[in-house]
Amino acid sequence: MSNTPSNLQYAKSDEWFDPATGKVGISDYAQGQLSDIVFMEITVGVGDDIEAGQAIASVESVKAASDVMSPVSGKVVAINEDLANAPENINSDPYGEAWFIQIEGGDGSGMMDAAAYEKYCEERAH
């Protein structure tokens, strides 16, 4: 199984949310499915109010392109500007250097914990 930190919450669309910091990114499972990520673009800005399920970014790999959805609603308070210049960080450090945005007021209720997300990923692999 992929790396699944227990302090994060996970969406069925493979995004993670850190309730302690408000940061959002894509899971290790998601980056593994996409393979080598070669491009990414964040499509929201600081100060934007966003809804859970709204597209916040797009990522492209050698295999596919995919939208990244916000797992929570809230206000965007920071964007990881460095990520567009180093999209490969999504593959090497999806829970650290490769966070996408930071949301204020986000509530991860209704999201999966690490154990439930791992089980969900395993079910999809069969």
Query: What is the amino acid identity at position 2?
Result: S
- Please compute the mean of the pLDDT values over residues 27-50 and round it to a whole number: 96
12-38 burial string, b = 16+ CB within 10 Å, else e? ebbbbbbeeebbbbbbbbbbebbeebe
109 pLDDT more than 90: no
Percent of the chain beyond pLDDT 90?
Answer: 90
pTM of the model: 0.95
- Please compute the mean of the pLDDT values over residues 82-87 and round it to a whole number: 95
1 pLDDT more than 70: no
Domain ranges of the chain: 10-124
pLDDT reported for residue 2: 65
Q: How far apart are CA 17 and CA 98, in angstroms?
A: 13
Q: How far apart are CA 104 and CA 102, in angstroms?
A: 7
126 pLDDT more than 80: no
Q: Please state the separation of Cα 37 from the chain's center in Å.
A: 14
Kindly report the average pLDDT of the chain as a whole number.
Answer: 94
Contact 7, 115 (CB under 8 A): no
- Please compute the mean of the pLDDT values over residues 83-106 and round it to a whole number: 95
pLDDT reported for residue 77: 98
Domain 10-124 in CATH 2.40.50.100? The answer is: yes
76 pLDDT more than 90: yes
CA 46, 48, 51, 54: dihedral to nearest 10 degrees? -70
